[in-house]
Structure 1
Amino acid sequence: MIVFNTIVLLLIDFYIYKALRATRIRWVASPLFPKIWWGYSLLLTVCIFVSIYVSIPLMFRSIILVAFFLTFISKFTFILILLADDIRRGGLWLKRLLIPKKKQIAPAEDSDASLPEKPVKGISRSQFLTKAGILVAAAPLAPLGWGVISGAYDYRVRREKLYLPNLPSAFHGMKIGQLSDVHSGSFYNKTAVQGGVDLLLAEKPDVVFFTGDLVNYLASEMRDYQDIFTKVRAPLGVFSTLGNHDYGDYHFGPEPSAAKAKNLQDVKDTHKVMGWDLLLNENRKLKVGNDEIGIIGVENWGTGRFPKHGRLEQALQGTAEMPVKLLLSHDPSHWRAEVLARPDVDVMFAGHTHGMQFGVRVGNVKWSPAQYIYKEWAGLYRQGQQQLYVNTGFGFLGYPGRVGILPEITVFELIRGEKPSRKNA
């Protein structure tokens, strides 16, 4: 697959290169241009293979990933414009082929059947589109580059009040902190990560939830960051669950193997070493004085191609008498697929979407391509008496940055009672 993708990318390079060389742009006509163009493509291809098959420092791997991502986005944008022009030119060629010249009535630019097109006012339409394509292709570089420089570790604390009519009085005002989607294998700045953890601890939460995806692929990715996340502690405990990336499927494949099983056990052991209570289709009673509520945690369960290890009914066993049940489940698609059928689950805490690390989230206004995949993708949702909160993640994956959808630390306050209406608010 890697070899096939490399061939496709090199064909795209060749297609764009030929289009650029056909223009009258001075720097493209320079003898140095082919060396720079193909030298960069070759170097980037080699670096991608090295980052996949050779163990190199995370910083260098991240630099390679940034270069590849920005290059791919720019070339993909450019090639769409080139294809549109080639389709247009192909239509003109077909028209000239099928319709006799005497019957053709066309503007002066298209009146000559020969190719390439004659310049009109100093530039042909194809040259104009090619040059415009260069500008359009360069446009994403600024925001995406800024998203790497500024957005990747620009942690933001988001606050929510959760109104629960059956909440025992001892839990009124309790603060819950939530982290999700750490993806430690993507980090390259320990100081910045420590800053994010410090932001959470400064909120002094009574309890902390972690809703999955501690790593990208391997448990070893936590080696450099375990000491930082060990500091995530709370008086009533830290409760965690697993996400789709924690099972090793993306590295070892979907089939069982001894190496894959060991890696998963190492991930589980990492939670234990950090002092986090990993809930694997089970529950805990959280007690304050004589009152108690239920903390339920399921393994990853997602619709579509994502693994379904979660066993909700198993996790809920023994919780019938608990007045409030708080569920940790990584994938928000689990909410509509199974959780809404269990009205005794009051709130589900999820992550997974990252808000696609791109979009707009200002006040009540939010947009991201994630919304075309997930009905619930960021923030608080309510249906009947049940609530879902989707955390857009602490870390990043793929694109090593964030634009508009910044890394999130969520702090909830539990409120005993009904949510006031807007008239009474």
Structure 2
Amino acid sequence: MQKNILIATGILFLLEFYVYEAVKTVTANSSVRIAYWICTALLYIFFISEIFLFKKSDPHPQRMQVVVSVFLMFLLPKLFVVLFLFLDDFGRVANYVFKTATQTEASFPDRRKFLSLTGVALGGIFSALILDGIVFGKYRHHVRKVKLKISGLPASFKGYKIIQISDVHAGSFFNPEKLQPAIDLINRQDADLVVFTGDMVNNFAHEFEQFVPMFTTIKAKDGKFSILGNHDYGNYAEWDSLAEKAQNVPKLIGLQKKAGFEMLRNEHRFIEKNGEKLYLVGVENWGEKPFPQYGDLSKAVTGIPAEATKILLSHDPTHFDAIVKNHPVHVHLTLSGHTHGMQFGLDLKNVRWSPVQYRYKKWADLYESAGKFLYVNRGFGVIGYPGRVGIAPEITLFELS
């Protein structure tokens, strides 16, 4: 990760001299130009020093969040300026090769100033969106209501309401109390069942400790269940010993139990009403490599009647195409998370786009394949970039029919 960031930083630093052309075009004030270079130099010094000081063993991810935020707010937006200056230079070359009587060199300064201002303005808008995502966006939780018709659903479970939350990433929040409105929003749905589909923490179980009282207040008539996500195993952290790491998952399970969540690890439970049963299956993380493949669906469904209605909790949506939809045991609905919608994109009624779609074919909302459903939750929290732009944090309410 550090190597990739340094490469990106090096490229941006080389482009700075190109960006400076826009600064000179926009203003002739020498003090402003000097101030620009001083601020730019300080940002790069801070950025590079923080990268070299970063340690995986650091239990506090806030430093890396600051680094990512600086990169997105102050360095990446300069690419807008570069793009528009490149368009201007491309126009100059085209004019030189295909010069016409209506296009003269006298028009270039005005055009360059316009394009420079446009690039600076778009960069500023991008920075403002990134800042809004950090300050407000990650707290804009909303409920997505999904009415789902499941073939063979027992009559007693018609209208049954399930809340899904996913990817809390507790260690990413400076002020957990700001999530209280989201918890209140969950409780207002009056759900029969609440499920959590993995990544409660970034790496360390203790990240969730201060969240326990808040999550204890989440209400569900028939219980609260959870599974592990790839981050919950602590595989992305440095540990003093294997014994210390081995205690991380048991500690996290204990903290979630204290908050009222029962952990499912390649096993199942059932909800019974009027003699009819709905089976809830939970597997450990299974993702395409390099993500861990601890999930064992065959083990988890052992003993469930073939005709029974089954809902599977599986953190990574790639598990669905790779294993679930072709498994001999029919799983009616799989609930996943993991992608976060990359916390950036467009999520409108008829337009849905995020860079994450180039990595995951199924990255948000409801999918159907081979007569089986998959729902991918956009996530409750954040990781890396401590904000959300266009992809709001999600609480999903399913009503079965």
User: Into which bin does the TM-score normalised by the smaller protein fall?
Assistant: 0.7 to 0.9
| Secondary structure of residue in 2 paired with 1:164 | coil
Q: Which residue is 1:291 aligned to? A: 276
Correspondence 1:239 to 2:225: yes
Q: Which residue is 1:338 aligned to? A: 323
Alignment of 1:154-233 (within 5 A): 154-233=140-219
Give the superposition deviation at 1:404: 2.0
**Which range moved further: 37-46 or 320-329?**
37-46
Aligned pair in 2 of structure 1 residues 318, 219: CA closer, same or farther (>3 Å)? same
Give the superposition deviation at 1:182: 0.5
Question: Are the counterparts in 2 of residues 20 and 130 from structure 1 also a CA contact under 8 Å?
Answer: no
Correspondence 1:268 to 2:270: no
Q: Which residue is 1:350 aligned to? A: 336
User: What is the identity percentage for the equivalent residue pairs of Structure 1 and Structure 2?
Assistant: 36
Aligned pair in 2 of structure 1 residues 409, 11: CA closer, same or farther (>3 Å)? closer
**Which range moved further: 43-52 or 166-175?**
43-52
Correspondence 1:43 to 2:46: yes
Q: Which residue is 2:375 aligned to? A: 389
Question: Which of residues 101, 106, 120 is equivalent to 1:134?
Answer: 120
Aligned residues: 393
1:395 partner letter: G
Q: Distance in 1 between matches of 2:315 and 2:72?
A: 26
Question: Are the counterparts in 1 of residues 230 and 285 from structure 2 also a CA contact under 8 Å?
Answer: yes
Q: Distance in 2 between matches of 1:299 and 1:106?
A: 63
Alignment of 1:50-199 (within 5 A): 52=55, 62-79=65-82, 107=99, 120-121=106-107, 123=109, 132-199=118-185
Q: Which residue is 1:326 aligned to? A: 311
1:317 partner letter: T
Give the superposition deviation at 1:86: 8.0
1:318 partner letter: G
Aligned pair in 2 of structure 1 residues 45, 27: CA closer, same or farther (>3 Å)? farther
| Secondary structure of residue in 1 paired with 2:291 | coil
Give the superposition deviation at 1:325: 0.8
Correspondence 1:26 to 2:12: no
Per-residue CA shift, 1:180-213, capped at 9, x if unaligned? 0111111123232111111101111111110001
Per-residue CA shift, 1:209-238, capped at 9, x if unaligned? 100011112212213222212222422111
1:267 partner letter: L
Q: Distance in 2 between matches of 1:32 and 1:384?
A: 61
Correspondence 1:400 to 2:395: no
Per-residue CA shift, 1:352-391, capped at 9, x if unaligned? 1111222232335433233332222211222343111111
| Secondary structure of residue in 2 paired with 1:406 | coil
Q: Distance in 1 between matches of 2:270 and 2:197?
A: 18
For structure 1, list consecutive stretches of 5 or more residues without a partner in the other structure.
93-103, 110-117, 416-425
2:258 partner letter: V
| Secondary structure of residue in 1 paired with 2:237 | helix
Correspondence 1:248 to 2:234: yes
Q: Distance in 2 between matches of 1:4 and 1:105?
A: 38
Q: Which residue is 2:288 aligned to? A: 303
1:12 partner letter: L
Correspondence 1:374 to 2:376: no
For structure 2, list consecutive stretches of 5 or more residues without a partner in the other structure.
none
Question: Are the counterparts in 2 of residues 359 and 404 from structure 1 also a CA contact under 8 Å?
Answer: yes
Q: Distance in 2 between matches of 1:79 and 1:39?
A: 21
Aligned pair in 2 of structure 1 residues 414, 278: CA closer, same or farther (>3 Å)? same
| Secondary structure of residue in 1 paired with 2:312 | strand
Question: Are the counterparts in 2 of residues 58 and 188 from structure 1 also a CA contact under 8 Å?
Answer: no
Tell which structure's C-alpha radius of gyration is larger: 1
Q: Distance in 1 between matches of 2:193 and 2:307?
A: 18
Q: Distance in 2 between matches of 1:106 and 1:322?
A: 72
Give the superposition deviation at 1:276: 1.1
Aligned pair in 2 of structure 1 residues 289, 339: CA closer, same or farther (>3 Å)? same
Give the superposition deviation at 1:287: 1.6
